[in-house]
Amino acid sequence: MIDYSSILSRYSPAKEERERIDRIVRTISDYVIKYCDKQSVEADPIVVGSVAKGTNLRDGDIDVFIRFSKSYEKHEMERIGMDIGHKVLKNGEEKYAEHPYVTGFMDGIKIDIVPCYRISKEEKKVSSVDRTPLHTEFIRSNLKANQIDEVLLLKVFMKSIGVYGSEVKTSGFSGYICELLTINYGSFDSVLRMFSGLSGRLVLPDTEQMRRKFGGPVVIVDPVDDDRNAAAAVIIDNLSKVKVAAKEFLRAPSDEFFIVEREWPHPEYVDRGTSIRVFSLPRPEVTDDVVYTQALRFKNILWSILERGGFLPVSWEINIEETVDVLIECERDRIPLLNVHRGPPVDTKNIRDFIEKWEGKDVLRGPYIKGDRLYVDLRNEFLELEETIKRDIVSFNIGMHLNRFRDKMKITDPSIEKKRMKVLDRFYSKTLFW
């Protein structure tokens, strides 16, 4: 049996942390209320996120939103919001999601001060940030006190198998989703039993209408907005991971499923008889979500160039630190000279154009007839992986931030440059969950 209480005591905030959080929250709230009072600003502070819901794990962040009346113009709200943010967080940094916000540290804890509009469930939101206070309210009034530990266990479980977080990098389950699942199924165990027996998509509530309305592997209709799938971020691989982990855990419960921090692996880079290349670009100074989105596009572009080029790509991996590293493994790094070029069907009018274009030319063979089409065997021009990528990459749009670096792309062949790279560690150590 698993000793859940020892897991909880490991990952819940200790008394000291909880007190520190309370203190910080009170300080900020007081400051904001006084500020608004003094400057006659129609706004109030509201703590949102897991801290507000009591479902925060150890060493979490604090999110304080400043809710403005909708009478404020957007730029006015943002200006005042930033002013408050900078006054609260002395060395705060400005960042930008849907609104600008200020992020910084207070007493060792990371704080985000985010301006938003006050809306009710019925009102049309102005931005998705405005909806966050509604999520907090929903969970506070629907999650029972004894379910808080269940949420924490679920979060730790998800984190442990690498599927916790809705940011693009993880594309997994957010804290809000863990809370909704717990409310819906009652406990950590029953959520796992649901996943272990689940076939196909998870749709909640599971009606024909919702199945038709939303695509994606996981659909959890947001209780505060019927038109939104709160689990839209989850990719199929992560749903699969949870299904397999749930089956494995229920079969043989183990503490392994509650280990959040693991040592970085140092696998041996064994010879797989394939051609592995790492394509690296400098990391642009933008948010993780933007970098990961563009890195995925970069990977897709590389993959499709290699696929169309005949290099037979089989697998890939991404790692982003100071550089954006995309690894692609191909069955070969050189394609054959032969290019069997398919011409028009014999029934089309313009077969003469094709025949004239190739007949008597310096081709490998043909033109000739096979099935209901004309063909000619040509010589491929670009035979090497590297030169094919370099020729084709310039004509693709990787996204604003990575495009600038296209000509700075570095291609590493790990069979020649024998150095440790995180993307290679990640690639070679791939297991079921960790």
* Least distance (Å) between residue 360 CB and its own copies: 10
Residue number, 252 or 394, with CB nearest to its own copies: 252
Report how far residue 327's alpha carbon sits from residue 278's, in angstroms, rounded to the nearest whole number.
4
Angle between helix 74-88 and 15-39 (nearest 10): 130
Closest CA to 47 of 24, 69, 14: 24
Provide, rounded to whole angstroms, the least separation between the CB of residue 64 and its own copies. 38
Q: State which residue, 366 or 399, has the beta carbon closest to its own copies.
A: 366
Q: How far is the CB of 270 from its own copies (least distance, A)?
A: 7
Going by C-alpha positions, the residue among 398, 186, 382 that lies closest to residue 296 is 398
**CA separation for the pair 140, 418 (Å, rounded):** 53
Which CB sits closer to its own copies, 400 or 432?
Answer: 432
Q: How far is the CB of 428 from its own copies (least distance, A)?
A: 7
Nearer to its own copies, 14 or 314 (CB): 314
What is the C-alpha separation between 293 and 283, in angstroms, rounded?
12
CB of 429 to its own copies, least distance (A): 8
Q: Please state, in angstroms and rounded to a whole number, the distance separating the CA atoms of residues 25 and 409.
A: 46
- Residue 321's φ and ψ, nearest 5 degrees, are -135, -110
Nearer to its own copies, 135 or 241 (CB): 241
Which residues are near its own copies by CB under 8 A?
A: 198-200, 236-237, 239-241, 243-244, 247-248, 251, 270-274, 314-315, 329, 331-332, 335-338, 340, 346-347, 351-352, 355, 359, 364-374, 377, 380, 383, 428, 430-432
Tell me whether residue 318 or residue 364 sits nearer to its own copies (CB atom).
Answer: 364
Residue closer to its own copies, measured from CB, 84 or 374? 374
At 369, phi and psi to the nearest 5?
A: -105, 135
**How far apart are CB 271 and its own copies at their closest, in Å?**
7
Shortest gap between Cβ of 340 and its own copies (angstroms)?
Answer: 6
Please, what is the minimum distance in Å from the beta carbon of residue 161 to its own copies?
A: 10
Q: Which is nearer to its own copies, 31 or 316 (CB)?
A: 316
Please report how close the Cβ of residue 192 comes to its own copies at its closest, in angstroms.
Answer: 14
How far apart CA 132 and CA 230 sit, in angstroms, is 12
Shorter beta-carbon distance to its own copies: residue 97 or 346: 346
